[in-house]
Structure 1
Amino acid sequence: MDAKKHINHSALSLLSFIAVVFVLYILKPFIVPILFAIIFSVMIFPIQRFLEKKWRCNRLFATLASLTTLFFLTALIFFLISTRLSYFMDNSEIYSQKLGELFHRSVNNLERTFNIGNNRLFSEQEYKAENIIKANLDKIGIVLSESSSLLGDMVLIPIYIFFFLYYRSFFRTFIYKAFRSKSKSFINSILKKVYEIQQNYLLGLIKVIIIVGCLNSLGLLLLGISNPFFFGFLAAFLLLIPYIGVIIGSLLPAIIALATKDSAWYAFGVIAIFGFIQFLEGNFITPKITGSKVSVNAFVVITSLVLFSMLWGITGMILALPITATLKILFDNTPGYEAYGFLIGEPVDKHLQSRARSRLKRWKGIRKAK
C-alpha cells in the first residue's frame, strides 16, 4: 500500500512539474516582463529608500524619481549600443568584401600547398564567400540588435516596476496572508535573503562588467582594433549571459580584425585576450567581488542556462542565474526540499576529495585526537 502511495505521489509530482513548465512556456509574454521588473525594482530600490528616508520624499515622488533614473540610464546604454551597431552594419559591405578576399587567398594557398591544381576546393560559382559572410554579418547584427532592444520593447516593465515599488507594503501583507502557517519573522527573513542575493548579484555584476570592459578595451587598444571601447564593453555587457556571452562578444572584434588588419594573427590575438580575461573573470574577479553569496555551482549554472534558453530563449539565459539563486533560498527553507537546495549550492572540499583521501584525512584526525 505504501509503495502504491509513493508511486501515486511521484506521478502527481511529475505531472505538476510538467504543468508548471507548460504554463511558464505559454505565459512567457506575461511572466518574463514581471521577472525583469522584479530584478530592476531590486536594483533601484536603494535609490527609493534614500529618497524616502534621507530626503523625506513621499513614496509616489520617490518611486517616479527612481523609475526616471533607471529609464535614462537604460536609454543611454541602448542608444550607445544601437548607434555603434548601426555604424557596424553600414560598413558590413566593406567588411564582407575584405573577408571574402581573405577567404579566397586562404583557399588558393591551400590549393598551392597541397598541389590540388585544377580540382579547386571551391568554385566561385558554387561558393560565393562574400555573399555568405555578408549574410552572416547581417544575421549577427540583427540578433544583437534584437537582444539590445529586448528590454526597451517591453513597455510593461516600467509599469510593473512602479507598482512593485509603490505597493511593496501591500504585496508584503499579501504574502503574510498567503502563508499564514509561517510567522512574519520567518517570511521577513526569507524576503530579506532573496533581496540580498539579488542585490548582491546585480551590484557585483555591474562592477564585474566595468572591470572586464576596461580590460577588454585595453587589450583591443593594444592590438589596434577600431572602436576598442565599444567592443570591449559590449563583450563585458554580454556577461549577462554566463559562459556564452563572452564567445558572442569576442566574435565581432575578431571579425573586424580579420577585415581591417593584414594578418589573421590579430583575430587570434583578440580571441586569446578575451579568453584570458574570461579566465581572470571566472576565477578571480567575480569570486572576489560577489563572494559566496550567490552560491550556485557551475554544473547547475550550465544546466539552468540550457533549460531556461529552451524555455524562454535569450531572455531565459539572462534570467537563469537570478532565478536559480532564488530557488536555492526557497528550497533551503522549505521542509522536504532541502536536498534540492543542497544540489544547487557549491560543494565543499570534502565533496571534491577521493574516497581514499577522505579516509586518510579522517584517520589522521582520529590519530591526532588520541
Structure 2
Amino acid sequence: MQTKQYPFYLQATVVLFGLILTVYVMAQLADILIPLAFAAFFAVLLNRLCNRLERLKLPKIVAISVTLFIATAVVAGIFFFLSSQIVSFGDTIPTLKAKFGQIINDLKNFVHQHFGINAQKQVQYINDAMNSGKKLVGKTLNTVLGTLSLIFLIPVYIFLMLLYKRLIVNFVFEVFSEENSARVAEILEETKAAIQSYIVGLLTETAIVAVMNSAALLLLGVPYAILIGVIGALLNLLPYIGGLVAIALPVLMATISHDGYTTQLGVIGAYLFIQFIDNNILVPRIVSSKVQINALISIIGVLLGNQLWGISGMFLSIPFIAVLKIVFDRIDGLKPWGKILGDNIPTRSIGHIWKLRSERKAAEKEVKVTTT
C-alpha cells in the first residue's frame, strides 16, 4: 500500500503547530511537570543503588525506603552545613551594613564630583530602578517559593516511580510494535546511562569547583569563603551563565570587607582561572564526555528552559536535550536532528561531498559518450 506524501509546507505547518501546542501545555502545567521531571531524573540516578539493595535480599519497599533515606540524609547534611554558615554570616550583618553604607556614600561623592549629579538625583534614580525591578524580583521569588513548596512532592514521586518502574518500562515496550522492541530497549538503556552519568558528573564537577572557589577565597582573605565558594559552585550548575553571576557575590564581599581594589581584582582573576579550568578540563572530561551536546545548543537550551520553566528549566534543559539526542540518533528520519545537537563536527560539508559526486557522475557520462 502506497503512503500519501503531503507537501512540505503542510508537513512543516503541522510540526510547528504541534511544537506550539506542546510548549503551551508544558508552560500551563509547569507546577505539575517540574517536580515530575526532577523526580524522574533522580529516580533514574537512584535506581542503581535501589537495585543493589534488592540484590541483598531486601524487600522492594524496604530497599526503596533505604535509598530515599540515604539520599535525604546527604541533601540534609549539605543544607545543614550551608544553614550553619548562613547563621554565622548573619551575626556580622550590622558591621557589613555599616561598611556598605560608607562605600555607598563614597560612591555618591565620586559621582557628584565627576558627573555633576547631586545626591538627591542619585537617590531618585536608584528608587526608580528599584521600583521597576520589583515586579521581576516578585516574579522570581514566587517561582522559587513555588518550586520549594513542590520539592516535598519529589520524594513521593521518586518512591512511586521506583516502586512501579517495571510497570512503566512494560508500558513503554507495549506502546511500540514488537519489531521495534530491540531499538526501544537500546534507547531506554542509553537514556538511563546518560542521565546517571550526567548527574554524577555534574555533582563531581560541583564539588571540585566548590573546593577551588573556597580555597581561592580563603587565600585572598574573603570572609565566609566556604559559604560563598559553595554558593558559587551551585550557581555554576547553570551552564555558561551561572559562573559569571557567581563572581558578583565574592567581589561584593571583598569590597565591603577590604580597602582598596587588590582583593577584588584577585577574586576576579581567581574565578576566571577556575572558570577556565572548569570549562576546558572538568566539563569536557567529566560532564560533556557523558552528554555530548555542543555549546551552541547548550546555551540555546538553557535560555529556552529559563523562558519556559525559569530556574528549574535551566537545570533540566541539558539532560532533556541529551535524552532527545539519544532518541533522534535511533530513528532514521530524525538522525539529522541528533547530529545538530551533538558536538561531532564533520571534516567536510555534505554540499562539498555532493559536488564531488556530481562531478564524478558527469565525468563518467563523458567517458560513456566518447567510448560510444
CA distance in 1, matches of 2:95, 2:143: 23
Residue matched to 1:68: 69
Using the TM superposition, give the Cα deviation of residue 155 of structure 1 relative to its aligned residue in structure 2, in angstroms.
1.9
1:68-217 → structure 2 map (5 Å cutoff): 68-85=69-86, 88=89, 91-92=92-93, 94-109=95-110, 114=114, 120-124=116-120, 126-127=122-123, 150-151=147-148, 153-217=150-214
RMSD: 3.2
Residue matched to 1:17: 19
Contact 1:96 1:134 in 2 (8 A): no
Contact 1:253 1:270 in 2 (8 A): yes
Using the TM superposition, give the Cα deviation of residue 59 of structure 1 relative to its aligned residue in structure 2, in angstroms.
1.0
Per-residue deviation, residues 271-298 of structure 1 (Å, max 9, x unmatched): 2211210111010112122352310000
Q: Secondary structure at the match of 2:332?
A: coil
CA distance in 1, matches of 2:77, 2:149: 11
Task: Decide whether aligned partners of structure 1 residues 170 and 90 sit closer, same or farther in structure 2, where only a CA change above 3 A counts.
Answer: same
Task: Decide whether aligned partners of structure 1 residues 4 and 338 sit closer, same or farther in structure 2, where only a CA change above 3 A counts.
Answer: closer
Aligned length: 345
Using the TM superposition, give the Cα deviation of residue 267 of structure 1 relative to its aligned residue in structure 2, in angstroms.
2.0
Using the TM superposition, give the Cα deviation of residue 99 of structure 1 relative to its aligned residue in structure 2, in angstroms.
2.5
Residue matched to 1:367: none
Contact 1:81 1:148 in 2 (8 A): no
Give the structure-2-normalised TM-score. 0.82
Q: Secondary structure at the match of 2:119?
A: coil
1:232 paired to 2:190? no
My pick for the range that moved more, 80-89 or 175-184, is: 80-89
1:353-368 → structure 2 map (5 Å cutoff): none
1:280 paired to 2:281? no
Q: Counterpart of 1:298 in structure 2: which amino acid? A: A
Using the TM superposition, give the Cα deviation of residue 96 of structure 1 relative to its aligned residue in structure 2, in angstroms.
4.0
Task: Decide whether aligned partners of structure 1 residues 94 and 235 sit closer, same or farther in structure 2, where only a CA change above 3 A counts.
Answer: same
Task: Decide whether aligned partners of structure 1 residues 133 and 47 sit closer, same or farther in structure 2, where only a CA change above 3 A counts.
Answer: farther
CA distance in 2, matches of 1:70, 1:134: 40
Structure having the higher Rg = 2
Using the TM superposition, give the Cα deviation of residue 134 of structure 1 relative to its aligned residue in structure 2, in angstroms.
11
CA distance in 1, matches of 2:266, 2:129: 21
Contact 2:50 2:67 in 1 (8 A): yes
CA distance in 1, matches of 2:316, 2:15: 24
CA distance in 1, matches of 2:140, 2:9: 46
Task: Decide whether aligned partners of structure 1 residues 348 and 9 sit closer, same or farther in structure 2, where only a CA change above 3 A counts.
Answer: closer
Contact 2:251 2:267 in 1 (8 A): yes
Q: Counterpart of 1:105 in structure 2: which amino acid? A: D
Using the TM superposition, give the Cα deviation of residue 131 of structure 1 relative to its aligned residue in structure 2, in angstroms.
8.4
Per-residue deviation, residues 315-347 of structure 1 (Å, max 9, x unmatched): 000101010111111111123111111110003
Q: Counterpart of 2:76 in structure 1: which amino acid? A: A
Using the TM superposition, give the Cα deviation of residue 8 of structure 1 relative to its aligned residue in structure 2, in angstroms.
1.7
Contact 1:216 1:232 in 2 (8 A): yes
Using the TM superposition, give the Cα deviation of residue 94 of structure 1 relative to its aligned residue in structure 2, in angstroms.
4.0
Per-residue deviation, residues 132-185 of structure 1 (Å, max 9, x unmatched): 99999xx99x96997599457422211110111111111111111111254333
Using the TM superposition, give the Cα deviation of residue 349 of structure 1 relative to its aligned residue in structure 2, in angstroms.
5.8
Per-residue deviation, residues 211-243 of structure 1 (Å, max 9, x unmatched): 111111110011001111111122112222111
Residue matched to 2:34: 32
CA distance in 1, matches of 2:39, 2:47: 12
CA distance in 1, matches of 2:230, 2:179: 45
Contact 1:239 1:245 in 2 (8 A): yes
CA distance in 2, matches of 1:267, 1:235: 16
My pick for the range that moved more, 281-290 or 146-155, is: 146-155
Residue matched to 1:328: 325
Residue matched to 1:366: none
Contact 1:82 1:148 in 2 (8 A): no
1:308 paired to 2:282? no
Using the TM superposition, give the Cα deviation of residue 309 of structure 1 relative to its aligned residue in structure 2, in angstroms.
0.5
Give the structure-1-normalised TM-score. 0.83
Using the TM superposition, give the Cα deviation of residue 93 of structure 1 relative to its aligned residue in structure 2, in angstroms.
5.1
Residue matched to 1:245: 242
The percent of aligned pairs where both chains have the same amino acid is 28
Contact 1:216 1:233 in 2 (8 A): yes
Q: Counterpart of 1:46 in structure 2: which amino acid? A: R
